[in-house]
Amino acid sequence: MAVFKISRERMVTEQLEARGITDARVLAAMREVPRHRFVPEALQTGAYEDHPLPIGHGQTISQPFIVALMSQMLQAEPGMKVLEVGTGSGYQAAVLAAMGLEVYSVERIKPLYFQTCDLLLQLRLHKIKVKLADGTLGRPEDAPFDRIIVTAAGPKVPEPLIAQLADPGIMVIPVGAGHNDQRLVLVLKENGQVTQTDAERVAFVDLVGAHGRRG
């Protein structure tokens, strides 16, 4: 619908470009992907506003700026292999795919997994590979990954994800002891060394699993 297209363009110019998102591939992907399709129908008119929205099962779709920021922090190039932990609505995966990345994703909540897989099929996003599993364990059978993005916050960076990150490789993950002290962390693996740098303050749902918080 034309109204959603207008809302999408305003989102990019007023929320993303105005706040320092400069990666051309990120901006193009966020113009392309119909964000309103990834939220419940009753909330679609607010899909492009500057805040997260509930998607059911205690989960949310992140606000547009955070999706764009994390995508930009990946510093990804087309053709790279990326692991997403926390498929959620499928929106972040769709943005990564629109950036030309080979997307592998993991979702732990069974009803959400089936709901999102169905939506991705409707949108003909057949190349996004979604798995029902504990995301903190990653996807070792498909590793290594050039990039890893985690869309839920745990107390520390899961060791299995560090092990599955390519060298050189970049991971972006929210980390914090509690809900009120989370920060995005940029993990860089290079020449066998792993460094972690704090970035933006954020608020994400819990990363639940063997190497996250216990559900």
Instruction: Point out the residues that are catalytic.
Output: 62
Q: Which residues pair with 145 in a beta bridge?
A: 165
| DSSP string across the chain | -HHHHHHHHHIIIIIIGGGT---HHHHHHHHHS-GGGGS-GGGGGGTTSSS-EEEETTEEEPPHHHHHHHHHHTT--TT-EEEEE--TTSHHHHHHHHTT-EEEEEE--HHHHHHHHHHHHHTT-TT-EEEES-GGG--GGG--EEEEEE-SBBSS--HHHHHHEEEEEEEEEEE-SSGGGEEEEEEEEETTEEEEEEEEEE---B-BSTTSB--
